[in-house]
């Protein structure tokens, strides 16, 4: 029987689809296994490359395959899609994963350890609370608008909403007033949880290596620094700071052809959370410097004179990304 050198795995919750191939790419087996069967089957296989989509659960299975002596490789789903022939199904996906993994120029995703995944959970939990609180505030403002009570958007105007609800002269039905009070309690509970989670993130950031160094850059706080340490691969993998900025999607999208260079808007590829936080931090640097009357550096001053603030913030975020790469390497 031909020896299997690579196994493509289409991961799911309970049923996994496997495509085994030889060194020349020829098919050796195709299997459909449950979670338990998959683990037993891979333990019985000789050492080989195990290629998987970088999706939910992939980092766990990466660690499991390493413990069994295999060489796991995680591939971004976007790089697998072009190798799917015609009809898409789970077995075709497993075959496409093998095809993609055999490409000599293929880029693979760095697997996270358990500590990094735990930090990601903390970050995602805080992000979810922020969204839920914003949704509740927007709903409350919309409900009051139905009764002709208008207030500006934003968390800073929640106190105005509370004053409208507390004012007995406001023409609100008793049921509506009682429900709005319950929504205010929910918003306060979200705010308390956010304070707790932010304090928790600060504590974790203080215990994480290199976070203190990252925080010395203006516009980078504990949340941004922890996001970089949790979501980004080791920065030594990037050849230069420009490569790291490109991975974050902070460079123009190219549509060049015929020897003519055409550059568009930022590509928005790579890690969304880090890019968003860097842009927010860059905007904070610009606003704070203008508010305090500080003298900005010549590059930033000239750019602000010619370009919109948001565009300047993206350019500054690109510069920050390159600086962070230099600090870490």
Spacing of C-alpha 17 from chain mean position: 27
Q: What is the pLDDT along the chain (329 residues), one digit of tens a residue?
A: 578 999 999 998 889 999 999 988 889 999 999 999 999 999 999 999 999 999 888 999 999 999 999 999 999 999 999 999 888 899 999 999 999 999 999 989 999 999 989 999 999 999 999 999 999 999 999 999 998 888 888 888 999 999 999 988 888 899 999 999 999 999 999 999 999 999 999 898 888 888 888 999 999 999 999 999 889 988 888 999 999 999 999 988 888 888 888 888 888 888 899 999 999 999 998 888 766 555 567 788 888 889 899 999 999 999 999 999 999 99
pLDDT of residue 3: 87
- Return the sign of the alpha-carbon dihedral for residues 82, 97, 59, 5: negative
Report the top-level CATH class of 6-101.
Answer: alpha beta
> Is the Cβ–Cβ distance between 89 and 11 less than 8 Å?
no
Summarize pLDDT for 190-218 with one digit per residue, the tens.
Answer: 999 999 999 999 898 888 888 888 999 99
Identify the CA nearest to 79 among candidates 100, 48, 57: 100
How is the chain split into domains, by residue range? 6-101, 114-207, 216-328
Q: How many CB atoms lie within 10 A of CB 13?
A: 8
- Distant-in-sequence contacts of 107-111, Cβ < 8 A, 24+ apart: 107/76, 107/79, 108/73, 108/74, 108/75, 109/54, 109/58, 109/74, 109/75, 109/76, 109/233, 110/74, 110/233, 110/234, 110/237, 111/58, 111/59, 111/62, 111/63, 111/72, 111/74
Give the tokens for residue 152.
Answer: 């500006």
Give the tokens for residue 165.
Answer: 């609800």
């Amino acid at each position: 029987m031909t020896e299997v050198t690579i196994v493509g795995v289409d991961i799911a919750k309970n049923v996994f689809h496997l495509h085994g191939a030889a060194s020349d790419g020829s098919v050796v087996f195709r299997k459909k296994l449950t979670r338990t069967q998959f683990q037993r089957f891979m333990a019985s296989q000789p050492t080989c490359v195990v290629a998987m989509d970088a999706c939910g659960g992939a980092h766990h299975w990466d660690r499991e395959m390493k413990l069994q002596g295999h060489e796991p490789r995680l591939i971004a789903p976007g790089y697998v899609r072009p190798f799917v022939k015609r009809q898409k199904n789970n077995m075709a996906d497993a075959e496409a994963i093998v095809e993609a993994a055999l490409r000599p120029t293929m880029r693979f995703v760095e697997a996270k350890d358990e500590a990094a995944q735990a930090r990601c959970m903390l970050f995602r939990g805080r992000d979810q609370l922020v969204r839920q609180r914003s949704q509740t505030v927007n709903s409350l403002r919309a409900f009051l608008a139905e009764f002709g009570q208008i207030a500006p958007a934003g968390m800073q105007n929640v106190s105005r909403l509370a004053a409208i609800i507390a004012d007995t002269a406001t023409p609100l039905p008793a049921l509506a007033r009682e429900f709005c009070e319950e929504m205010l309690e929910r918003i306060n509970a979200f705010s308390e949880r956010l304070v707790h989670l932010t304090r928790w993130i600060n504590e974790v950031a203080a215990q994480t290596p290199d976070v203190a160094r990252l925080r010395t850059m203006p516009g980078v706080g504990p949340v941004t620094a922890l996001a970089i340490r949790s979501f980004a691969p080791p920065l030594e993998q990037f050849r230069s700071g420009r490569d790291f900025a490109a991975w974050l999607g902070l460079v123009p999208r190219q549509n060049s052809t015929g020897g003519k260079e055409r550059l568009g808007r930022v590509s928005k590829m790579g890690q969304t959370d880090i890019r968003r936080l860097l842009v927010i931090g860059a905007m904070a640097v610009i606003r704070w410097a203008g508010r305090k009357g500080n003298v900005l550096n010549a590059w930033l001053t000239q750019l602000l004179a010619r370009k919109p603030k948001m565009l300047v913030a993206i350019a500054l975020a690109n510069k920050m990304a390159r600086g962070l790469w230099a600090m870490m390497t």
